[in-house]
C-alpha cells in the first residue's frame, strides 16, 4: 500500500501565475472604474446608476465593488438541457468541463458536397444542425452561416427554427434585433414546455456582443436585459482585434475584453441575480500586412488561454474560440491553425469553445473543416487525459514475464488495456502505403468529405414533438408577416 | 451443432483452455476430426477475420484467437489437418528485430501454414539447412536494417547452389525492403505487412 | 515596482506529478534488478559484473539499484554542442528546447516528380541544406538513408553529405564502432583538433538498444567508443505499446527508462562523467495496421511523460515531434505535426527530433520539414507567453483611445506589434481576391515552392577539409564494403 500520493489525473497547463491574473483582473477593474464604457441604452444606464455607477451622458464608470458584487452572484456552474430525453446531450458547464461547437453568421458557406463557396440557405442550417447532432465531439450548435433565402430581417429566426428541429444538442442563438430575440425565445419556450420549464431547465444559450473598444450598443443591452429578465443563459462576448480595436499587447487585450464583457455581467446580475452568464470572447491580433483579423494566429491560442484563466480566476465560465483558420480553403493551414487553437482551448479548459469550422478569417463556414476538427478534438482529448500510473499500468510483473527479447502481442495485459490506452482514429489513416494506394490514395481532406457526405445522408436527428413544431410554425408565420411590413 | 457453437465461441474469444477441452470432448464423442476443423475451427476463424476487417477486432484479439485455434488443432492428427504448406521464417543475420517477423509467423499459422520459426540473427546457411530438413515450401525473411539486408541475397544464392531454387520459394519483408529489391535479389515475393504476407504466401504456393 | 510577485515567463506544462514520476523510476529500478537485461558485448558484461551486477546465462545482467543511482549522479546534466558554425551553441539542459530532423528514412518523395524512391547522396545533401536555410531547425539528422553508396560504409558518406549542407550541430548514426570512429575522425578534421571536439562536440551519436531489454553488440560497441572518446551519446530505445513494450503507457515508460539506464550505467562504468542523453521514440503499435505509429496522440503524450521523468532526473532528453503517419503532406500530416510540436515544446524536451517524417518514419519529407518549421515559429510565439506589466496592460493607452476609438495609429501599437505578433512566412492571411490573384495556392503548394527555392537557390557555406573527408570515406569503402553493391 502506497501512501501520501498526489497524481495528475489530466495534463497540467498553466499560462499565468496567480499574481499575473490578479494584476490583469485589477487592470480590468481599473478600466471600468476610471476610463469607463459608453452604454447607448437609457434603461441600462439607469440600472447601473441605481447600483452606484457614475454616469455622464453615455459614459458609465463602475466602482470595483459593483463589479465584484456581480462576479459574486453569477454562477460558476449551470446546465443547459437537451430537448431530448437523452441526457448525454445535456451541457454541464463548470470547473474542469469543456465543450466544442461551430460559430455563427459567416457571410459565405462552403457547399457540403462540392466545396464551392456560396451563400447560405435554410437548408444549410438544417444540414449544419444534422451534422453537429451526429459528430461525437461536438456538444453545442451554431449555424456556420447567415440565412439568405428568407426576408433578411428574419434570417435569425428561421435559422433557429431549422436548427432546433434537427438537433438535440443545445443551440447557442443570436439575433439581429429584439424582435428576433423574442421570437427565438418563444420557440425555445415552446420546445421546453412553458416559461417555468424554460427557467428551471433552460434549453438554449443566447449570445450578444459589445463593440470594441468599450462600447455597448442599444440593441446589445436590450438583449442582455431581456435574457436576464427571462433567465436565459447569456454570453456577452467581445471581439477585440489587437492593434485595431484594442492595444497591440496581449495583457491589455485581455484586460479590455474582460472589462467589456463584465459590463454585460453587471447589468444582467443587477436585473436578475444568478442569471447564468458566460464571459467571452474572440481575441486575436490584426494581421498588420493584410489587415485581417487573424483567426488562425498563434496569438489567438495564447490570448484565449489567458482569457480562460482570468474567467476561472474570477469564477466565471468562458465562451472561448478555436478550430478556426485564415486559410481560404480547407487545407494544411486550416488543419494546423484549427488544431493548435483546439489544443490550447482544451489544455486551458475553456468551457465552451466555438467557431470550429470557420475558415477564411470567419468569412466562410465549412462543414469540411468542422468534421476535420471533430477528429482533432478526439486526438487532443487523448493527450489531455494524460498517463495513468498505478501498479497495473506500471506492469512490472508483465515486463518480468515477457522478459528481454520477448513480445507483448498476446499478453492478457495487452488485451485488457489497449482499447482504453489507445485512441482510435476515425479519419486519420495509419495504413501502410501499399494498402493506402490500393484503397484509392485518399488524403484526409478526401476522407473528411466522405464522412461528411455519409453523415448528411444517413443521420436522422430525433424529431420535435408535433406540438412544438406547430408552435414554431406559428412564430415563423408571425415573423414573416412582420417582415413584410 | 451446439458443441460447435461453443467451440467457435471459445476460439473467437481466444479461450485456449476451453477450445482444447471442447475439441477433446467432440473427438471423444466420435465426431470426425475433419468435420470439427471445417465446421468448428475454420468457421470460427472466418468470423474472426470478418470482425478484424470491420475494425471490431484488432491484432491482439486476432492473435489470441489464432492461439486458441492452434490448441484445438494440436489434438487432431496430421492427415485430417491439412497444412497449406511449411514455412521457415526468421530475421536475417546481424539483425535482432523480430516484432514484425513474429506477427507474420502468427498470421501464417492462423492461415493454416506449418511455421518453423528460427528467431533472429539467422544465417543464410541455417535458413537453407532448415528448409531442407523440414521439407519447407517457403522461406520467409525479415530485415529492419539496410546493413543486414544483403544477407537475403546470400540466402537466395545458397538456395540456388543447392539446386532448390523454384522448389523452395522465398518471400521477403521489413521496413527498408521493397518490391523492386525483392526482384533484384530474385526472391519470389515481397509483402509490406503480415496480412499481405499471408496472401502472398498462399499465392506462391498455389 | 511591485512587491512579492511571481510570474510565469512562459506557459507551464506537465504530464506527471512528482509522485507518479517516482513510481515509474522505482519500477524501472525494480525491472533492472529483478528481470535484468541482455548484454551482447563481452567488455560491457565484464564492466557490469565487476561493478557488482549479477550475470547469469552468459549475458543476462541484473543491475543493483545503488549502482544505477551512483551512475545517475555522475552523468552530466548538461551537454553543449555546436556544428561547423562554432558560434551557434546548443545547450542541452533543463527546459531548453531545440528542434531537428530525424535520421535514415529509406524513401523520399521526389520534390519535382512526387515519386517515392530511395534517398541518394544528393538528396541527403539537399536535406541538410534545407535545415541550414530554415530559421527554426536547430540541429540536423540525415533525414534520408544514403542508398547510392556502399552499404557497409554508408554512414561515412552520409556524414559528408550532411557536413556539406549544414553548419548546424548534427546527430549521427553509425553502422558500428568502426563507423563511429571514422566519423569522429572526420569531425576532428573539420574542427582541426580533437581538443575542439572535446570542448564542444560537433555531433551526438544516436544509439538504439532493442526493446524489450536487449542491448546488441553493435549498440554497445558504439556506446563504449563514445564514452571513451567523449562523444555525447543518445542511448534510447523505440518501444511500442502492445508490441515490444507493455500496452499501458506507464508500463512502456518503465521499460524504456530501464533500457536507457542500462546504457547510462555501461557508459559511466567505461568512463565516469560520459555524457548520456536519455529518452526514446515512444509510441503505440497501431492495432489495426500493426505499424509503429508516429502520428498517434500517445506518441506526443509519452514523449512528454518521458521528458518529465528526465527533467526530474536532471538528465538531457531526446524527444520526438513534427512527424506523422500520413502518406503525403495533407491535413493529417498538418495536425500530427502541429500537435506533436506544441506538446514537445510545452514539455521542455532538449532534442526534439524526427521533424519531417511522414509515413511512420519510412519517408523523410522535405515538405513536412519546411511546413513544420513554420509551425515551430507559431509554437515558439505561444511559448513566449504573455507579459503582464503596466506597459503591456496598456491602461493608459486604452484610456487615451477611449470607448469607440481605435489603436492603429497609436505610438504604443507601433512600438509593440512587431514583438507581440508573430510574422507568418508560409501561412497566408490575405483576402480572397489577393489569394486568388496569387494563384489560389494551398499551404502544401506554397511549401513545395519553398522547398524548390531552397534546393535551387540556397548556397551553404563551403566545407573545408572536404578532400580529407572523402579520403576517409574511400578508405572505409575499401575496408568494409568490398564487392558490396549499393542499394540504388
For residue C387, the surrounding DSSP H or E stretch is none
Residues within 8 A of A (CB atoms), C 458-477 only:
none
Q: C304 pLDDT band (50/70/90 cuts)?
A: very high
C-alpha cell at position C12: 507551464
- Residue at grid coordinates 508500463: C251
One domain for residues A379 and A234: yes
Interface membership of B121 toward A (CB under 8 Å) = no
C-alpha cell at position C368: 513536412
Q: Which of A331, A363, A385 marks a domain boundary? A: A385
Q: A369 pLDDT band (50/70/90 cuts)?
A: very high
Asked whether residue A248 is assigned to any structural domain, the reply reads: yes
Q: Cβ separation of A339 and C334 shorter than 8 Å?
A: yes
C-alpha cell at position C251: 508500463
Q: Which of A401, A421, A441 marks a domain boundary? A: A421
Q: Cβ separation of B193 and A435 shorter than 8 Å?
A: yes
Q: A33 pLDDT band (50/70/90 cuts)?
A: very high
* Residue pLDDT, tens place only, A261-274: 999 999 999 999 99
Strand order through the sheet with A358-359: A117-118, A108-110, A364-366, A358-359
| pLDDT for the residue A26 | 97
Residue positions counted in chain B: 206
pTM of the predicted structure, to 2 decimals: 0.94
Distance between A397 CA and the closest CA of chain B, angstroms: 19
Closest CA to A189 of A178, A175, A203: A203
Interface membership of C35 toward A (CB under 8 Å) = yes
- All residues of chain C having their beta carbon less than 8 Å from the beta carbon of residue B60 are 242, 247, 287
* DSSP one-letter string for C183-246: HHHHHHHHHT-HHHHHHS-SEEEEE-PBTTTEE-HHHHHHHHHHHHHT--EEE----EETTTB-
Asked whether residue A186 is assigned to any structural domain, the reply reads: yes
CB contact at 8 A, C174 and C208: no
| pLDDT for the residue B22 | 93
**Number of A:B CB contacts under 8 A?**
34
The CA radius of gyration of chain B, in Å to the nearest whole number, is 18
Asked whether residue A62 is assigned to any structural domain, the reply reads: no
CATH of B2-80, one of 3.40.50.2300, 3.30.1490.20, 1.10.1240.10, 3.40.309.10: 1.10.1240.10
Can you tell me the distance from the alpha carbon of A61 to that of A48, in angstroms, rounded to the nearest whole number? 9
- Residue at grid coordinates 579520403: C471
| pLDDT for the residue C68 | 98
Minimum mean pLDDT range among A251-265, A439-453, B97-111, C107-121: B97-111
Q: What is the ipTM of this complex?
A: 0.96
Domain B86-205 class, CATH top level: alpha beta
* DSSP one-letter string for A395-458: -HHHHHHH-TT---TT-HHHHHHHHHHSPPPSS-----HHHHHHTT---HHHHHHHHHHHHHHH
One domain for residues A228 and A335: yes
Percent helix, strand, coil in chain A, to 5, is: 50, 15, 35
What whole-number percentage of chain A has pLDDT above 70? Answer: 100
- All residues of chain C having their beta carbon less than 8 Å from the beta carbon of residue A347 are 13
One domain for residues A127 and A209: yes
Q: What is the mean pLDDT of residues C307-333?
A: 98
Asked whether residue A485 is assigned to any structural domain, the reply reads: no
One domain for residues A237 and A168: yes
One domain for residues A378 and A397: no
| pLDDT for the residue B147 | 82
What is the CA angle C371-C375-C381, rounded to 5? 150
- All residues of chain A having their beta carbon less than 8 Å from the beta carbon of residue C2 are 23
Which range marks the domain in which residue A396 is found? 391-421
One domain for residues A381 and A397: no
CB contact at 8 A, A234 and A276: yes
Characterise A114 by phi-psi region: left (phi > 0), alpha (psi -120 to 50), beta (else).
alpha
Residue C373 pLDDT greater than 70, yes or no? yes
Can you tell me the distance from the alpha carbon of A343 to that of C191, in angstroms, rounded to the nearest whole number? 43
Map out the domains of chain C with their CATH numbers: 18-72 (no CATH), 77-383 (3.20.20.480), 390-420 (no CATH)
* Residue pLDDT, tens place only, C16-67: 999 999 999 999 999 999 999 999 999 999 999 999 999 999 999 999 999 9
Q: A323 pLDDT band (50/70/90 cuts)?
A: very high
**What are the Cα distances from residue C351, in Å, to A123, C80, C320?**
51, 12, 8
Question: Closest partner residue to B60 among A418, A432, A434, by Cβ?
Answer: A418
Asked whether residue A475 is assigned to any structural domain, the reply reads: no
Residues within 8 A of B (CB atoms), C 282-341 only:
285, 287-291
Q: What is the mean pLDDT of residues C318-331?
A: 98
Residue B161 pLDDT greater than 90, yes or no? yes
C407 vs B144: which has the higher pLDDT? C407
* Residue pLDDT, tens place only, C139-191: 999 999 999 999 999 999 999 999 999 999 999 999 999 999 999 999 999 99
C-alpha cell at position A459: 443521420
| pLDDT for the residue B74 | 85
**What are the Cα distances from residue A66, in Å, to A50, A56, A210, A279?**
11, 17, 19, 17
One domain for residues A258 and A313: yes
| pLDDT for the residue B33 | 86
Asked whether residue A258 is assigned to any structural domain, the reply reads: yes
One domain for residues A193 and A238: yes
What is the CA angle A325-A422-A393, rounded to 5? 135
Can you tell me the distance from the alpha carbon of C463 to that of C160, in angstroms, rounded to the nearest whole number? 9
* Residue pLDDT, tens place only, A249-299: 999 999 999 999 999 999 999 999 999 999 998 999 999 888 899 999 999
Q: B81 pLDDT band (50/70/90 cuts)?
A: low
CB contact at 8 A, B118 and B90: yes
Residue B1 pLDDT greater than 70, yes or no? no
Minimum mean pLDDT range among A45-59, A317-331, B94-108, C316-330: B94-108
Number of domains in chain A: 2
What is the CA angle A321-A323-A326, rounded to 5? 95
| pLDDT for the residue C441 | 98
Q: Which of A385, A402, A429 marks a domain boundary? A: A385
| pLDDT for the residue B42 | 85
Residues within 8 A of A (CB atoms), C 343-402 only:
343, 346, 359-360, 362, 371, 374-375, 378-379, 381-382, 385-389, 391-395, 397-399, 401-402
What whole-number percentage of chain C has pLDDT above 70? Answer: 99
Q: C137 pLDDT band (50/70/90 cuts)?
A: very high
- All residues of chain B having their beta carbon less than 8 Å from the beta carbon of residue A433 are 192
Cβ count within 10 A of residue A202: 24
**What are the Cα distances from residue B33, in Å, to A140, A455, B2, B71, B113?**
59, 48, 16, 14, 18
* DSSP one-letter string for A119-185: -B-HHHHHHHHHHHHH-TT--SB--SS-B-SS-GGGHHHHHHHHHHHS-SSPEEE--SSHHHHHHHH
Phi, psi of B114 (to 5 degrees): -90, 125
Residues 6+ apart with CB under 8 A from C103: C141, C142, C143, C145, C171, C172, C173, C206, C353
Domain with CATH 3.40.50.280 in chain B: 86-205
Can you tell me the distance from the alpha carbon of C33 to that of C65, in angstroms, rounded to the nearest whole number? 7
* DSSP one-letter string for A356-373: TTEEGGGTEEEHHHHHHH
C-alpha cell at position C227: 564514452
Mean pLDDT of chain A: 96
CATH number at residue A207: 3.20.20.480
Amino acid at each position: 500500500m502506497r501512501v501520501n500520493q498526489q497524481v495528475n489525473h489530466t495534463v497540467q497547463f498553466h499560462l499565468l501565475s496567480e499574481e499575473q491574473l490578479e494584476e490583469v483582473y485589477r487592470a480590468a477593474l481599473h478600466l471600468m472604474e476610471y476610463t469607463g464604457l459608453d452604454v447607448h441604452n437609457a434603461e441600462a444606464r439607469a440600472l447601473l446608476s441605481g447600483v452606484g455607477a457614475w454616469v455622464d451622458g453615455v459614459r458609465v464608470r463602475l466602482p470595483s465593488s459593483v463589479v465584484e458584487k456581480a462576479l459574486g452572484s453569477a454562477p460558476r456552474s449551470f446546465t443547459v438541457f437537451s430537448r431530448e430525453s437523452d441526457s448525454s446531450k445535456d451541457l454541464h458547464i463548470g470547473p474542469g468541463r469543456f465543450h466544442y461547437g461551430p460559430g455563427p453568421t459567416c457571410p459565405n458557406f462552403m457547399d457540403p458536397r462540392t466545396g464551392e463557396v456560396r451563400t447560405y440557405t435554410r437548408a444549410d442550417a438544417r444540414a449544419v444542425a444534422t451534422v453537429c447532432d451526429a459528430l461525437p465531439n461536438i456538444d453545442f450548435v451554431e449555424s456556420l452561416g447567415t440565412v439568405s433565402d428568407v426576408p433578411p430581417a428574419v434570417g435569425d429566426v428561421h435559422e433557429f427554427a431549422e436548427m432546433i428541429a434537427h438537433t438535440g444538442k443545445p443551440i447557442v442563438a443570436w439575433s439581429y434585433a429584439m424582435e428576433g430575440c423574442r421570437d427565438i425565445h418563444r420557440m425555445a419556450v415552446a420546445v421546453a414546455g412553458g416559461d417555468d420549464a424554460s427557467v428551471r431547465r433552460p434549453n438554449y444559450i443566447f449570445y450578444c456582443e459589445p463593440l470594441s473598444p468599450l462600447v455597448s450598443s442599444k440593441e446589445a443591452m436590450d438583449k442582455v436585459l431581456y435574457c436576464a429578465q427571462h433567465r436565459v443563459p447569456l454570453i456577452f462576448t467581445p471581439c477585440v482585434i489587437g492593434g485595431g480595436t484594442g492595444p497591440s499587447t496581449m495583457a491589455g487585450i485581455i484586460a479590455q475584453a474582460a472589462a467589456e464583457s463584465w459590463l454585460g455581467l453587471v447589468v444582467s446580475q443587477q436585473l436578475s441575480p444568478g442569471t447564468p452568464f458566460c464571459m467571452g470572447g474572440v481575441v486575436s491580433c490584426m494581421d498588420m500586412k493584410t489587415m485581417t483579423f487573424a483567426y488562425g494566429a498563434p496569438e489567438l491560442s495564447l490570448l484565449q488561454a489567458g482569457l480562460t484563466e482570468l474567467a476561472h480566476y474570477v469564477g466565471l465560465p468562458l465562451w472561448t474560440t478555436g478550430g478556426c483558420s485564415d486559410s481560404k480553403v480547407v487545407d494544411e493551414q486550416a488543419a494546423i491553425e484549427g488544431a493548435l487553437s483546439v489544443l490550447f482551448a482544451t489544455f486551458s479548459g475553456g468551457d465552451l469553445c466555438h467557431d470550429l469550422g470557420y475558415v477564411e478569417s470567419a468569412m466562410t463556414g465549412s462543414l469540411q473543416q468542422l468534421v476535420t476538427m471533430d477528429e482533432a478534438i478526439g486526438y487532443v482529448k487523448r493527450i489531455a487525459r494524460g498517463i495513468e500510473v498505478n501498479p497495473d499500468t506500471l506492469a512490472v510483473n508483465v515486463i518480468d514475464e515477457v522478459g528481454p527479447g520477448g513480445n507483448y502481442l498476446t499478453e492478457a495485459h495487452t488485451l485488457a488495456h489497449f482499447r482504453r490506452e489507445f485512441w482510435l482514429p476515425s479519419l486519420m489513416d495509419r495504413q501502410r502505403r501499399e494498402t493506402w494506394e490500393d484503397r484509392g490514395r485518399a488524403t484526409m481532406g478526401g476522407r473528411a468529405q466522405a464522412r461528411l457526405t455519409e453523415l448528411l445522408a444517413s443521420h436522422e436527428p430525433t424529431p420535435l414533438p408535433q406540438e412544438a413544431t406547430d408552435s414554431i410554425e406559428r412564430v415563423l408565420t408571425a415573423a414573416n408577416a412582420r417582415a413584410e411590413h | 451443432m451446439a458443441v460447435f457453437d461453443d467451440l467457435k465461441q471459445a476460439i473467437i474469444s481466444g479461450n485456449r483452455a476451453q477450445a482444447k477441452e471442447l475439441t477433446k470432448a467432440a473427438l471423444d464423442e466420435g465426431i470426425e476430426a475433419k468435420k470439427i476443423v471445417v465446421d468448428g475451427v475454420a468457421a470460427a476463424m472466418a468470423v474472426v477475420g470478418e470482425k478484424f476487417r470491420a475494425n471490431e477486432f484488432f491484432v491482439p484479439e486476432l492473435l489470441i484467437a489464432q492461439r486458441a485455434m492452434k490448441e484445438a488443432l494440436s489434438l487432431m492428427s496430421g492427415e485430417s489437418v491439412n497444412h497449406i504448406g511449411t514455412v521457415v521464417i526468421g530475421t536475417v543475420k546481424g539483425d535482432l528485430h523480430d516484432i514484425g517477423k513474429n506477427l507474420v509467423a502468427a498470421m501464417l499459422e492462423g492461415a493454416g501454414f506449418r511455421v518453423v520459426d528460427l528467431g533472429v540473427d539467422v544465417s543464410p546457411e541455417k535458413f537453407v539447412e532448415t528448409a531442407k530438413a523440414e521439407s519447407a515450401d517457403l522461406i520467409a525473411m525479415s530485415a529492419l536494417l539496410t546493413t543486414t539486408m544483403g544477407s537475403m541475397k546470400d540466402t537466395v544464392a545458397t538456395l540456388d547452389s543447392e539446386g532448390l531454387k523454384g522448389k523452395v520459394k522465398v518471400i521477403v519483408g521489413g521496413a527498408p525492403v521493397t518490391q523492386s529489391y525483392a526482384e533484384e535479389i530474385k526472391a519470389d515475393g515481397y509483402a509490406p505487412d503480415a496480412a499481405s504476407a499471408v496472401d502472398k504466401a498462399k499465392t506462391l504456393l498455389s | 515596482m511591485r512587491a512579492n510577485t511571481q510570474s510565469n515567463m512562459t506557459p507551464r506544462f506537465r504530464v506527471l506529478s512528482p509522485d507518479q514520476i517516482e513510481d515509474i523510476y522505482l519500477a524501472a529500478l525494480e525491472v533492472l534488478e529483478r528481470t535484468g537485461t541482455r548484454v551482447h558485448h563481452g567488455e560491457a558484461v565484464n564492466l557490469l559484473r565487476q561493478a557488482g551486477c549479477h550475470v547469469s546465462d552468459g549475458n543476462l545482467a541484473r543491475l543493483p539499484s545503488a549502482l544505477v543511482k551512483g551512475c545517475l549522479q555522475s552523468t552530466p546534466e548538461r551537454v553543449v554542442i555546436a556544428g561547423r558554425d562554432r558560434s551557434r551553441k546548443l545547450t542541452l539542459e533543463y527546459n531548453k528546447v531545440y528542434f531537428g530532423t530525424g535520421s535514415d528514412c529509406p524513401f523520399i518523395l521526389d520534390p519535382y516528380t512526387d515519386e517515392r524512391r530511395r534517398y541518394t547522396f544528393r538528396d541527403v545533401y539537399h536535406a541538410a541544406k534545407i535545415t541550414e536555410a530554415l530559421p527554426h531547425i536547430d540541429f540536423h539528422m540525415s533525414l534520408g538513408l544514403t542508398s547510392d553508396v556502399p552499404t557497409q560504409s554508408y554512414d561515412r558518406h552520409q556524414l559528408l553529405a550532411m557536413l556539406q549542407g549544414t553548419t548546424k550541430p548534427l546527430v549521427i548514426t553509425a553502422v558500428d564502432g568502426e563507423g563511429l570512429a571514422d566519423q569522429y575522425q572526420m569531425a576532428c578534421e573539420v574542427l582541426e583538433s580533437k581538443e575542439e571536439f572535446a570542448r564542444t562536440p560537433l555531433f551526438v551519436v544516436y544509439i538504439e538498444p532493442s526493446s524489450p531489454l536487449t542491448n546488441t553488440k553493435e549498440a554497445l560497441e558504439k556506446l563504449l567508443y563514445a564514452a571513451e572518446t567523449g562523444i555525447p551519446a543518445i542511448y534510447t530505445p523505440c518501444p511500442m505499446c502492445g508490441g515490444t513494450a507493455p500496452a499501458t503507457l506507464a508500463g512502456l515508460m518503465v521499460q524504456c527508462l530501464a533500457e536507457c539506464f542500462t546504457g547510462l550505467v555501461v557508459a559511466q562504468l567505461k568512463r565516469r562523467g560520459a555524457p548520456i542523453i536519455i529518452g526514446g521514440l515512444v509510441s503505440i503499435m497501431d492495432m489495426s495496421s500493426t505499424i509503429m505509429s508516429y502520428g498517434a496522440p500517445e506518441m506526443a503524450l509519452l514523449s512528454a511523460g518521458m521528458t518529465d521523468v528526465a527533467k526530474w532526473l536532471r538528465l538531457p532528453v531526446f524527444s520526438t515531434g513534427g512527424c506523422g503517419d500520413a502518406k503525403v503532406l495533407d491535413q493529417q500530416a498538418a495536425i500530427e505535426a502541429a500537435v506533436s510540436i506544441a506538446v514537445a515544446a510545452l514539455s521542455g524536451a532538449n532534442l526534439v527530433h524526427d521533424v519531417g517524417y511522414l509515413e511512420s518514419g519510412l519517408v523523410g519529407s522535405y515538405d513536412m520539414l519546411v511546413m513544420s518549421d513554420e509551425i515551430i515559429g507559431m509554437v515558439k510565439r505561444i511559448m513566449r507567453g504573455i507579459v503582464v506589466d503596466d506597459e503591456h496592460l496598456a491602461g493608459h493607452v486604452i484610456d487615451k483611445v477611449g470607448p469607440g476609438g481605435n489603436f492603429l495609429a497609436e505610438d504604443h501599437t507601433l512600438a509593440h506589434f512587431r514583438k507581440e505578433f508573430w510574422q507568418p512566412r508560409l501561412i497566408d492571411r490575405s483576402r480572397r481576391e489577393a489569394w486568388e490573384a496569387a494563384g489560389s495556392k494551398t499551404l502544401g503548394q506554397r511549401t513545395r515552392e519553398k522547398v524548390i527555392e531552397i534546393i535551387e537557390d540556397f548556397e551553404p557555406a563551403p566545407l573545408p577539409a572536404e578532400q580529407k573527408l572523402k579520403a576517409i570515406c574511400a578508405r572505409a569503402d575499401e575496408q568494409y564494403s568490398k564487392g558490396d553493391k549499393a542499394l540504388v
